[in-house]
Copies of this chain bind each other. A is one copy, B any other.
Amino acid sequence: MHTCANRAGEMSVAGNKGKGSRVSIKDVARAAGVSHSTVSRALRNSPLVNAETAAHIRRIAEEMGYIPNIVAQSLVTQRTYTVGLVVTTISDPFIDQIVEGIEDLATREGYSVFLSSSHADPGREIAVVEAFHRRRVDGVIVLASRVGSMYTERLQELGVPIVLINNQADGAYLYSVSADDLSGARQAVRHLVDLGHTCIGYVGCHFRPPSNRRRLEGYRQELARAGLPYESDLVVHPKTFSDVENGRLALDALLNAGATAAFCYNDRMAIGLMAEARHRGIRVPEDLSIVGFDDIEASSYVFPSLTTVKQPRFEMGMRAMQMLLDLLAGQEVDDDLMPCELVVRESTAPPRKESLWQTCAK
């Protein structure tokens, strides 16, 4: 059957419409009356070939609609110019811009990216790593919220550089770029403190331990700085798999603890919390101020619009890709911590007067 394709290739000197121009370097060589080596060199701008010969060859190649076959190139150069990108799920409003940043730089540098989702399922994680291995990707970027130790171990067996986003981990081939959770959390809480809140809750995420720990730590540090006590019942970690749902579930605990404000692990939780508050007739921000994290698109058009901590997601994606490129070029790289920035919108306000008289429930 592919003998046919061959024929098509030979005929394509006449016309290369229809069948996807199966013109090879040899066809060009024949047409130009030179060897395929010379064509190869001419197309790669090698100084070894005569300038006009090269120009001539390039013109012929152009006319014949020659398009290099990266597959064949990869076989000899041992480089596929592809990177594998693993995400937990594509349906996460948080990742869009990161992926965009990665893809943008990758494309510009002649790389293509394989997108796969793991769904935090060990079986699929293994399958993804296998696929990347079989395809001989040059590097891998992991944008999964959860990275089990077995997983990283398997990843390292690939023998290619790996960049983790928002997921520090140890390992010879593991590098990372992450948002500065600590500083971001501190900015969020400080904002609430500055507004006059003294009873501030934290709605954490049970399934992203590393970053959750750092954001919680930022919350503690800022409370301490303000001279406010750390009350453990103001900190809740709902354990559903849905962020929005977890936000909803957190409301009761917060109210019982007397919170007038809450800092949430991410925007979707904040939005869930906000929805539940409205449902119960609790006004945001009058009765409860809410701050999120991430600055996903929806946070700007929910009502009230959400005060949140913006992660430079596009830049983080680009940075991760750049790190991979550097590693592939044999350079040394350092892990990267990207700055976050508070975005003040409508979901935060000073506590109501009466709450000045009241301390936390306890």
Contacts and interface: CB of A to CB of B under 8 A. Distances in A.
Interface in A263-317: 271-272, 275, 278, 297-298, 301-303
A355 interface: no
Given A67-B133, A160-B20, A301-B272, A89 B100 contact: yes
B21 A157 contact: yes
B115 A103 contact: yes
A301 B301 contact: no
B67 A134 contact: yes
Contacts of A18: 159
A226 interface: no
B100 A117 contact: yes
Contacts of A72: 75
Given A136-B71, A159-B18, A112 B116 contact: yes
Interface in A73-108: 74-75, 77-78, 80, 82, 85, 89-93, 96-97, 99-100, 103-104, 107
Number of copies: 2
Contacts of A113: 114-115
What range describes how many residues of A lie at the interface? 35 or more
A30 interface: no
Contacts of A130: 67
A68 B303 CA distance: 53
Contacts of A89: 100
A136 B20 CA distance: 9
A320 to B, nearest CB: 15
A70 interface: yes
A11 to B, nearest CB: 13
A2 interface: yes
A80 B85 CA distance: 18
Contacts of A16: 157
A91 B100 contact: yes
A244 interface: yes
A244 B272 CA distance: 21
B80 A91 contact: no
Given A85-B115, A113-B114, A275-B303, 4 more contacts: A20-B158, A90-B99, A104-B117, A107-B131
Closest 8 CB pairs of A and B: A20-B159, A91-B96, A115-B115, A298-B298, A19-B159, A90-B100, A70-B134, A2-B78
16 contacts: A16-B157, A21-B157, A67-B134, A70-B134, A71-B74, A89-B100, A90-B96, A90-B97, A90-B99, A91-B100, A100-B117, A103-B117, A112-B114, A113-B114, A114-B114, A278-B303
